[in-house]
Structure 1
Amino acid sequence: MHRRHFLASLAVLPLAGAVPAFAAQIGVNTPFPALTVERINTLPAAQRQAWLDYLKRSEVAMAADQAALKAEREGMTTIPDGPKGGNGEATMPLDKPAEWYESVEARAVADNIVSFQTPAGGWGKNQPRNGPVRLKGQHYVANNMPPNQKPDDFDAPHLPGWGYVGTIDNDATITETRFLFKVFAATKVEAYRASALRGLQYLLNAQFPNGGWPQVWPLTGGYHDGMTLNDNAMSSVMQLMGDAGRGEGDFAAVSAELRAKTAAAETRAIQVLLDAQVIIDGKRTLWAQQYDPLTLTPTSARNYEPPALSSSESASVLTYLMKLNAPSKDIVAAVHAGAAMLEKLKIEGMVFAKTPDGQDRLLTPKDGAGPLWSRYYDMKTLKPIFGNRSKTLHDTITDVEPERRRGYSWYNNSAASALNRYAKWKESHA
């Protein structure tokens, strides 16, 4: 894998001859580059076959998922409504006493989970698991498509009616797999173990040849095919791979052969995280939330999410790396550099709060407030960068449309906990 950072083209694209809709418009967001055979064939010869095999594996899994649902619906006069959406994680607690997982309540959740597992072995997101089991012909996943989408929106589905059918977004698949291992440990019901093992194998199948993971697998096109750090997606999978690889506690049910595979998957993923740390002027900085898996170039996600350094995702990566036992010199160097950049970018004496009428959110001064970080930083200037649903990019939050100011975490303090951990960690990792 060639490590490439096209920083001049990543930050923002100038608007040639265009009249900005806002005074501070500095560019437009561009779509995720498609993962295609043609692009794979531009890689060095030694890398191509692994990626071609990966793409084929995804296509076969997608066809099998769709064929299975179609076969169930054959001859049906009425198709069951899709499952309801909602807070899925709340229905799959992972912090209950061991004896709770043998309860009727826990087993009902586990039965629901098993029934909604896709043929490929994954699960959808934002789907409560304390409801009835899946009906014949019912869709595997709840509808997660935003309303009022436009055909050219970056998150518009490439396959109508087929979104997030197997995903790691919002801890989907990761939480279901962990929950099933807990219920199996308490009940010894083989169906729960078998489903959990299929979940692990699904994640192994979904892993890119370079060690990363896409947000959705089988691949469905668009930014969902990108290597995804957003919302802790990749670090959560890596933690699961590591836990399974050690085979401790609930993961004693994992065979030695599968433990070796999951441990190796975590090792490969750590390396690609190190490779993906963005270098500016020869120095390691932070991480982006989404990457082109073929080049490790930061990319866009949704219309308003630009290729940029991401404080929240970087904090999650640093927290994960600091939990590793006996970190290598490269890991230690990556953590020191990332923490230094977060320290440099922190904002003191400001809050990102609702206006008195509750109709807006703005960055405003407040004595003693902070630290705070912008969600995104331009990779050329290291200044905050913001986006609109219309794909325009801006250098100030006041030029973002009010709906996006209210509905997105443009500023947050999630990096504070990572720096607090770092203050202790650095004492023994000079």
Structure 2
Amino acid sequence: MKHMLKPVCIKVGLTLFAGACLCGGIQAHSLNGEKEDILNTMKSATRYMMDSVSYRGGFVWNYLPDLSRSWGEMEAKRTMVWIQPPGTPSVGHLLLDAYHATGDKFYYEAAEKVANVLIWGQLECGGWNYVFDFAGENSLKEWYETVGKSGWRLEEFRHYYGNATYDDLGTISAAKFLLRMYVEKNDPAYKAPLEKVIHFILESQYPVGGWPQRYPLRYDHPFEGKEDYSSFITLNDDVTPEIIDFLIQCYQAMGLQNIKEPIMRAMYLTITLQQGEPYAGWADQYTVTDLKPAHARSYEPRSVNTGTTVGMIYQMMEYYKLTADTRFLSGIPAAIKFLESQKLPETEVRKWHRKSDNPDEILVPRFIDPDTGKPLYVHRKGGNIYNGKYYIDQNIENTI
């Protein structure tokens, strides 16, 4: 029960963010002569976060004011460092932003500490897991066997894979920060770990162009009678779009010619992954052999996802702007038609008990059966991994 109680916490990113935003305003408007006070407050907050809150320069997400307990997506050990946002790379990005806003090398030196922590936690394969532990791999395994194993909704933490993840921007958020550190001053200290993660990304790409959720590939954690989904080609949480975005940044900033073809291969795959009419949207993940929609966690059924479809429509417009290839636009009308076809009648809207104030918005189911077009509403009963269960039906009431 205690893991569910989270008193008011220090939130990692926000402490520095307020100062960084104000500093940008200072340069534009002088803020009535308060610049010095704001800069002093900003630096004091950063010192506290780096010297007292961080562990060797690494962060999780939230902390009790006395630092006696801390959390990433789940409760964390003091020696743990969280990668997925808003964790350690997010702080690194913020410190670089503060350096640009102020010109104060103090923030760059703090960003260097964060970068060194991430390099320490980079896996041999070149990517990152959601989290690593300065106390060692046995300590991390023990966490997975206790805290992680108790995650009901957070099923991705119920198994220790020992590999890297693209989920929740884990590897990519760290990679983008190291890229920024490298191009900031062309510091060779960051070139080797950056090249290592680029090699990891290219090695983990499927020939067809997509990426799995985790790599090196593992198939040994089937769940509730379904195969391990971590090898499936993944769009969920912007896995493929974010990897493409990072590679484009590398191509632009470093001039790496060998990554252009993998970028293009991945971008054109997104056209192929759009489903045919009448359900012409995109799924969260796909089986590799036939590129068909696939399941993920127990509450993420094999489906076409309307939210993912909206995101991919925007991505298609971005890829068109990059390439001038109208094939990226060709599927958008069908995707919009599909979304409009899923508009729920007012009787269903009333059952959901929530309504938007925006008259232009429509309510649609999140998950759509790719074969029948029926909505797949997810429900749960119970309260933990021992008595809890997710189930799916066509009843919109009491969805999670």
TM over 0.5: yes
Name which of 266, 271, 280 aligns with 1:269.
266
Q: 2:310 is matched with which residue? A: 315
CA contact (8 A) 1:310 1:375 kept: yes
Residues 214-272 of structure 1, C-alpha deviations (whole Å, 9 max, x = no match): 01111122111111110111111111122222x2xxx23xxx5xx22322111111222
Q: TM-score, length-normalised on structure 1?
A: 0.59
Residue 365 of structure 1: CA displacement?
4.6
Q: Is residue 2:281 matched to residue 1:286? A: yes
**Take 1:139 and 1:227, find their aligned partners in 2: how far apart are those partners?**
31
Map of 2:168 onto structure 1: 170
Instruction: Provide the C-alpha distance between the structure 2 equivalents of 1:279 and 1:238, rounded to a whole number of angstroms.
Output: 24
1:392 aligned counterpart, secondary structure: strand
Q: What are the superposed Cα offsets for residues 135-166 of structure 1, whole Å, 9 maximum, x if unpaired?
A: 6667789858351569xx97585xx5335x31
Partner in structure 2 of residue 192 of structure 1: 190
1:145 aligns to what? Answer: 148
Contact 1:216 1:225 in 2 (8 A): yes
Contact kept, 8 Å, 1:310 with 1:376, in 2: the verdict is yes
The residue type paired with residue 220 of structure 1 is: R
Matched residue, 2:234: 228
Q: Which amino acid aligns with 1:336?
A: P
Give the unaligned 5+ runs of structure 1. 1-79, 128-132, 354-360, 406-430
Match of 2:243 in 1: 237
Q: Which residue of 2 aligns with 1:120?
A: 125
In structure 1, how many angstroms separate the alpha carbons of the residues matched to 2:138 and 2:261? Answer: 36
What is the distance in 2 between the residues matched to 1:328 and 1:134? 47
Residue in structure 2 matching 1:378, options 366, 369, 381:
369
Normalising by structure 2, report the TM-score. Answer: 0.64
Deviations 1:54-79 (A, max 9, x none): xxxxxxxxxxxxxxxxxxxxxxxxxx
Secondary structure of 1:279's counterpart equals coil
- Alpha-carbon distance in 1 for matches of 2:104, 2:272: 42
Q: Using a 3 Å threshold, how does the CA distance of structure 1 residues 136 and 155 change in structure 2: closer, same or farther?
A: closer
Task: Please name the residue that 1:337 is paired with.
Answer: 334
In the TM superposition, residue 346 of structure 1 has moved relative to its aligned partner by 4.2
Unaligned residue ranges in structure 2 (runs of 5+)? 1-76, 220-227, 381-388
Distance 1:137 1:125 in 2: 14
Q: Give the distance between the partners of 1:372 and 1:92, measured in 2 at CA.
A: 38
Structure with greater contact order relative to length (CA < 8 Å, sep ≥ 6): 1
Q: Deviations over 1:62-112 (max 9, x none)?
A: xxxxxxxxxxxxxxxxxx986244731532326716457861211111111
RMSD value, Cα: 3.5
Q: How many residues align?
A: 294
**CA deviation digits over 1:152-188, x for unaligned, max 9?**
x97585xx5335x311111111111111121122343
Q: Which has the higher helix share?
A: 2
CA drift of 1:396 comes to: 1.7
Inter-partner Cα distance in structure 2 for 1:393 and 1:190:
52
